[in-house]
Structure 1
Amino acid sequence: MVQDTATGFVREIMLEYAALTGLDPTGARPRRYLWTDAFAVCNYLDLFRRTDDETFRDLALRLVGEVHRTLGRHRGDDPRVGWISGLAAEEGEQHPTIGGLRIGKDLNERAIGEPFDERLEWDRDGQYYHYLTKWMHVLSRVASVTGDFTYLRWATELARTAHAAFTYVPPSGGGKRMYWKMSIDLSRPLVPSMGQHDPLDGFVTYSELQAARNRFGASVGIDLSPEIADMAGICRGTRFVTDDPLGIGGLLSDASRIARLTIEGGVFGTGLLESVLDAARVGLASFAARGSTGYPAEYRLAFRELGLAIGLAGVPEIREGLEAHPGVFGRAPSLLRRVQGLAEYLPLGEAIVGFWLDEQNRKAATWLDHREINMVMLATSLAPGEFLKV
């Protein structure tokens, strides 16, 4: 009964999202935003799995196509037209991700020579690496659900393009680094600093795509071995600990994928999973001690908290995987202790979801100002299965 109630609520949210953003019924000017749409596709796929209603599979596929046709092309207020890759119309349709995908922000990107304004930059368009990795994961999931390997090819083309644009060797030498935000055409960095978890996201996502390629056949997509090696090198010098709830949720989501990929084919060594779990535990302790989940809705950002709830939802499956496949993990008892420590925070995730399920809390300005991303991530927190799969 609880499962049926959750499914019904997710269905309600996702049909509302389709109407709000011009997906269904089709709007003259659909509103597409890459991060939100990535979670939305997974939600539609999860609803299809739960209900066998092909309406939701079709919504997922329509949304993928609409993202590519909207965010894979230049903006309407940009003098440039067509695919941001520069490909001609027909070839661009065959390779819609090969130039990357825009974020979908309200304002156009900062012009060449225009002074940097940190506050304004959050509202400007461009390309974010951590949004692109979400979309690679989505395309991999669509390929798995539909059996259409075209989506995996698009995912690997996006991976190669993003990697080439966002990674660089500093003029002072040393190992590779990453830019956080690039211009729409990927020709220049807009924010040169490196996202704390971007290397980990890239390493795990590329590995997921490589595993899918090996499973489906080596002729599908692009071999990402060089890119995986690059990301492994960048990860070695990166500290993962954060007390940001969305960042902690991302760590836990990556841990779920690492565990699944290790069980499926020994993709990772035990050390990476240990490091990610340890970082998540430290961050969770810090976040919980802050007590911000006791604040009124007006002082809370739902999508950041819900990102944590989504990550925590994967902890029981990590534990089950370790218990069912002890031989796969070289230090299974040590890992189990780590996961059991994280399981102490499962009530925190449940409390976050319960808080935002309260209709009164969803009337706060902090909810309404970010309505679409909040509602989609609330739906994912109730049905995270497809998002956490590989």
Structure 2
Amino acid sequence: MASSTRANRTQLFQKATQIVYGPLDKNLSEESARTWTPPDNPGAGGHRGRYLWTDAFGLVNFITLSKETSSPVYLTLAKRLAETVHSMLGRTRDGSARLPLATDAEPLKGGLRIGKMDAFGSDGDGQYHHYLTLWMFSLDRLALATQEIVYHRLAVQLAKAIHPHFVIRTRQDSPPARMVWKVSTDLKSVLVPSEGHLDAATGFVVYRLLQQTAEHFGDSSGVLESEIADYRELMGGSGKLHVSNDPLDLGMGLWMCHLFRDEEWARTLGDQSLDVARILLAETSSLMTRGASRRLAFREFGTCMGLRCYGTDEALEARVAAVVQFWEKFLDESTDEDLRPISLIMFASALIPGGELDAEDPTLISTSLMVD
């Protein structure tokens, strides 16, 4: 199998990343990296080449590459990607102004657009809570990887800014009642009033990571206490935290659980998710017996990534490897153009979720997406 060894995985990881972000390698000069601009063709696949989910994983993958190749140039590329996302998705679609509520001093106070191709409609642009929390995580990991606090502060700025627009209360002084899935680009209107299955739990996890990093930098301890309390209450509601049969949702749940795996809620959900993964990825399951045209690669890579983060036994790891191998031959020019960038970046994340655990400083857990 092409991706069976770490060296081969790294090679495939680099290849997938370069198809999306251009011909980059560890020999790229620092000077060139500092002036690099992420391409819009193919780019991350969204509006003007930026799509928040894909670029969030892309940023983390650059951090992983810096570890895998021992080249700091990838951290410079990660910083340039962050700057580009903020300048594109933190502004109106025509690029003429920052999003409402944002300022030059607080550029993320207006949130970040998803990067959908259409401005309006059922699949139009707006803001998703689960995309925004993933971007916060990515910025926070960049802060730890570079030891530059500015990226952490941007993540906290974004966290505090978007929270009241997704967490709904019956009165201003009442406990949180529910969350909403999608709001408008200007944060003023609810576009999808239903609640994302993992949104509260992901908020609980990511905001706590931001809090830990604040303590690591000695920067405003307790800055997100009220938001964390809201998410804790919301995720504790009856039926809120359950295993999903959707491959991407299942994988992101496992990823979320591995970050606080010693806590009872995470152990319970994580172990239940492993049971579902064994069924979902079984060689004879309805999903695994379908042809490629009836499957979505990036969603299955989410399962693979989550499993490798949380930890697999020999049988599950064999199934993860089989899924990755199945899709390798389809990740070329013939892949659906719209989904190609997200599929390639998630493929890389499934190959090497990356990251290390610093035993002396637990705030440095998961500099990338996984604890080895």
TM-score normalised to structure 2 length: 0.82
Identity within the alignment, %:
34
Match of 2:98 among 60, 71, 83: 83
Alignment-mate amino acid for residue 96 of structure 1: P
Residue 68 in structure 1 maps to residue 83 in structure 2:
no
- Matched residue SS, 1:292: coil
- Matched residue SS, 2:260: helix
Residue 287 in structure 1 maps to residue 256 in structure 2:
no
CA distance in 2, matches of 1:57, 1:174: 40
Q: What's the offset of the Cα at 1:27?
A: 5.5
Instruction: Give the corresponding residue for 1:350.
Output: 321
- Aligned 1:107-146 pairs, distance under 5 A: 107-109=118-120, 120-122=121-123, 124-146=124-146
Alignment-mate amino acid for residue 130 of structure 1: H
Residue 378 in structure 1 maps to residue 371 in structure 2:
no
Residue-by-residue CA offset, 1:207-237 (whole Å, 9 max, x unaligned): 11111111111338x7101111110000111
Alignment-mate amino acid for residue 356 of structure 1: W
Residue 274 in structure 1 maps to residue 245 in structure 2:
no
Instruction: Give the corresponding residue for 1:113.
Output: none
CA distance in 2, matches of 1:347, 1:27: 36
Alignment-mate amino acid for residue 219 of structure 1: S
Match of 2:308 among 306, 309, 313: 313
CA distance in 2, matches of 1:153, 1:167: 21
- Matched residue SS, 1:160: helix
- Matched residue SS, 2:116: coil
- Matched residue SS, 1:384: coil
| Contact kept in structure 1, 2:167 and 2:176, CA below 8 Å | no
Which range moves more in the overlay, 46-55 or 124-133?
A: 46-55
- Matched residue SS, 1:218: coil
| Contact kept in structure 2, 1:257 and 1:388, CA below 8 Å | no
Residue-by-residue CA offset, 1:117-162 (whole Å, 9 max, x unaligned): xxx513x000000000100100110000111101111111111112
| Contact kept in structure 2, 1:169 and 1:175, CA below 8 Å | yes
Residue 252 in structure 1 maps to residue 247 in structure 2:
no
Residue 195 in structure 1 maps to residue 196 in structure 2:
yes
| Contact kept in structure 1, 2:40 and 2:50, CA below 8 Å | no
Describe the shift of the 1:217–1:84 C-alpha distance in structure 2 as closer, same or farther (beyond 3 A): same
Residue 95 in structure 1 maps to residue 96 in structure 2:
no
- Matched residue SS, 2:191: strand
| Contact kept in structure 2, 1:108 and 1:125, CA below 8 Å | yes
Alignment-mate amino acid for residue 48 of structure 1: S
- Aligned 1:138-287 pairs, distance under 5 A: 138-170=138-170, 175-219=176-220, 223-237=223-237, 238-259=240-261, 270-287=263-280
- Aligned 1:322-337 pairs, distance under 5 A: none
CA distance in 1, matches of 2:203, 2:232: 9
Describe the shift of the 1:151–1:25 C-alpha distance in structure 2 as closer, same or farther (beyond 3 A): closer
| Contact kept in structure 1, 2:102 and 2:109, CA below 8 Å | no
| Contact kept in structure 1, 2:51 and 2:115, CA below 8 Å | yes
Q: What's the offset of the Cα at 1:170?
A: 4.5
Residue 33 in structure 1 maps to residue 51 in structure 2:
yes
- Structure 2: gaps spanning 5 or more residues: 24-35, 42-46, 356-367
Instruction: Give the corresponding residue for 2:18.
Output: 15
- RMSD over equivalenced CA pairs, Å: 2.6
Q: What's the offset of the Cα at 1:294?
A: 2.1
Alignment-mate amino acid for residue 251 of structure 2: G
Which range moves more in the overlay, 373-382 or 23-32?
A: 23-32
Alignment size in residue pairs: 334
Instruction: Give the corresponding residue for 1:332.
Output: none
Alignment-mate amino acid for residue 283 of structure 1: V
| Contact kept in structure 2, 1:167 and 1:178, CA below 8 Å | yes
Q: What's the offset of the Cα at 1:58?
A: 1.7
Q: What's the offset of the Cα at 1:282?
A: 4.7
| Contact kept in structure 2, 1:98 and 1:154, CA below 8 Å | no
Q: What's the offset of the Cα at 1:239?
A: 3.1
CA distance in 1, matches of 2:65, 2:194: 38
| Contact kept in structure 1, 2:308 and 2:350, CA below 8 Å | yes
Instruction: Give the corresponding residue for 2:363.
Output: none
Describe the shift of the 1:364–1:11 C-alpha distance in structure 2 as closer, same or farther (beyond 3 A): closer
| Contact kept in structure 2, 1:253 and 1:314, CA below 8 Å | yes
Instruction: Give the corresponding residue for 1:116.
Output: none
